[in-house]
């Protein structure tokens, strides 16, 4: 186990800069998830940490040692790939033990280690099988086993669950989380799925266009998003956004015509974007600021999501699961002031 530090990391491909000097500190034993849309640089960062790509400038430190110029095998890391990368011509035992090939430990010791890892992953009965005799989840476990067997300082996971079906993904998510709690290793996990990020991470790193947008615990990035991108990327359905302007008395005049009393650190006349999550926007309010008609209902059982058409666009709100408003009905929506997110309209940065 070890801590990891990334300092001013830049990566360019043929003069195109894809990472623009990112900085990050990961503590020993921490589970950090990199999340972001395709092309945001999360996988590139992971490959740079692994040593599969050369750093253009900046430093990567693992366990206090700069590893920029070290071969992957000398970085004391292990990686689980999206396509598992388990060798089809080898049995599960050989696949798991593959990482120990270069170890000078006696064979009996290596075998004991393989058995220990197989036992931990519940794969003891499968050791003599070949990958084509395994299910998707079992293959994924073999890949994890191969990473674990060397007891590396840092585990790197590159979208390891994206090839699994929804049910198996949920199961594997839980297993990886439990595994982390058991072995306590430092884990860097890359995904584009914000649900995976929220459910697994100690801290989430949200990336976009080669920049880190925000680093924080799942609760922090959800409740206090640093900007409109994070606000809309985290949470499903995405956060509702509406333009507005700060008035002389400090209140906000929304483009829908509604008004909100707020005490903002903003100048009168400043353009703002108001964000409110669908689960916080409800018709059950004493201070509505939006009015429109229900266009679509999505019953989820315990609650119903309603899509409300207003003069400022369509908004998603939460309604009662048993007695939601009818399609076509007019509703007036509002939210508690503590659940409102206010961003600068120009920069997108959070004001509150």
Partner 1 sequence: MAATEEIRLSSDALLKANKPKRPANMGQFLRWGLLFLGGIVMIMPIVYMISTSLKWPHEVYNLKLIPDEPHLENYTFVLEDGRFYWWFVNSIIIALITTLCNVIFDSLVGYTLCKFRFPGRYIVFIAILSTLMIPTEMLVIPWYLMSQQFGWLDTYWGIMFPGLMTAFGTFLMKQFFETVPDDFIEAARIDGLNELQIWWTVAMPLVKPALAALAIFVFLGNWTAFIWPLIVTNSVEMYTLPVGLSSFGDEADVAWELIMTGAAISTIPTLIVFLIFQRFIIRGVVMAGLKG
> Contact residues for partner 1 (CB under 8 A)?
50-52, 71-73, 77-79, 81-85, 87-89, 98-99, 101-102, 146, 150
CA atoms within 13 A on the CB side of 21: 1
* Residue 148 beta carbon to partner 1: minimum distance, rounded to whole angstroms: 12
* Residue 74 beta carbon to partner 1: minimum distance, rounded to whole angstroms: 8
* Residue 52 beta carbon to partner 1: minimum distance, rounded to whole angstroms: 5
Judged by beta carbon, residue 111 or residue 243, the one nearer partner 1 is 111
DSSP 198-264: HHH-SEEEEEETTEEEEEE-HHHHHHS-SBHHHHHHSSSSPPEEEEEEE-TTS-EEETTS-EE----
Say how far apart CA 343 and CA 253 lie, in whole Å.
14
Which of 59, 38, 40, 39 minimizes the C-alpha distance to 48?
59
State both tokens at 270: 């400043």
* Residue 40 beta carbon to partner 1: minimum distance, rounded to whole angstroms: 20
Judged by beta carbon, residue 102 or residue 167, the one nearer partner 1 is 102
Q: Under DSSP, is residue 281 helix (H, G, I), strand (E, B) or coil? A: coil
* Residue 59 beta carbon to partner 1: minimum distance, rounded to whole angstroms: 20
Judged by beta carbon, residue 149 or residue 272, the one nearer partner 1 is 149
* Residue 26 beta carbon to partner 1: minimum distance, rounded to whole angstroms: 18
Judged by beta carbon, residue 150 or residue 318, the one nearer partner 1 is 150
Please, are residues 111 and 103 in contact by the beta-carbon 8 Å criterion? no
Instruction: Return the number of other C-beta atoms located less than 10 Å from residue 53's C-beta.
Output: 16
- Chain centre distance of CA 218: 9
> H helices within 128-226, ranges in order?
136-148, 166-183, 194-200, 218-223
Scanning the structure block, which residue is given the tokens 């994070």?
Answer: 230
Judged by beta carbon, residue 75 or residue 208, the one nearer partner 1 is 75
Judged by beta carbon, residue 85 or residue 219, the one nearer partner 1 is 85
* Residue 144 beta carbon to partner 1: minimum distance, rounded to whole angstroms: 12
291 - beta bridge partners?
332
Say how far apart CA 302 and CA 280 lie, in whole Å.
15
């Amino acid at each position: 186990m070890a801590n990891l530090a990334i300092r001013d990391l830049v990566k360019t491909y043929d003069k195109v800069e894809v990472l623009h000097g990112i900085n990050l500190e990961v503590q020993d034993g921490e589970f950090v998830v990199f999340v972001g849309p395709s092309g945001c640089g999360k996988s590139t960062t992971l490959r740079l940490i692994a040593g599969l790509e050369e750093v253009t400038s900046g430093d990567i430190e693992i366990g206090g040692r700069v590893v920029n110029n070290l071969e992957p095998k000398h970085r004391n890391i292990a990686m689980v790939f999206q396509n598992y990368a388990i060798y089809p011509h080898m049995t599960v035992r050989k696949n798991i033990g593959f990482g120990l090939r270069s170890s000078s430990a006696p064979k009996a010791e290596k075998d004991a280690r393989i058995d220990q890892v197989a036992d931990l992953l519940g794969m003891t009965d499968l050791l003599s099988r070949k990958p084509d005799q395994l299910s998707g989840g079992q293959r994924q476990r073999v890949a994890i086993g191969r990473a674990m067997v060397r007891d590396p300082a840092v585990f790197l996971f590159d979208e390891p669950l994206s090839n699994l079906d929804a049910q198996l993904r949920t199961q594997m998510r839980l297993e990886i989380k439990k595994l982390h709690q058991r072995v306590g290793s430092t884990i860097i996990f890359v995904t584009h799925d914000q649900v995976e990020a929220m459910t697994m991470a100690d801290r989430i790193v949200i990336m976009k266009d080669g920049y880190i947008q925000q680093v924080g615990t799942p609760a922090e990035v959800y409740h206090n998003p640093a900007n409109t991108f994070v606000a809309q990327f985290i949470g499903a359905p995405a956060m509702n956004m509406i333009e507005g302007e700060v008035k002389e008395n400090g209140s906000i005049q929304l483009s829908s015509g509604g008004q909100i009393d707020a005490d903002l650190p903003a100048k009168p006349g400043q353009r703002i974007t108001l964000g409110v999550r669908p689960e916080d926007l409800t018709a059950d309010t004493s201070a509505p600021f939006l009015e429109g008609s229900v266009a679509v209902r999505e019953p989820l059982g315990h609650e119903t999501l309603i899509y409300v058409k207003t003069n400022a666009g369509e908004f998603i709100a939460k309604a009662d699961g048993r007695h939601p408003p009818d399609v076509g009905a007019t509703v007036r929506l509002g939210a508690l002031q503590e659940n409102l997110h206010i961003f600068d309209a120009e920069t997108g940065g959070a004001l509150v």
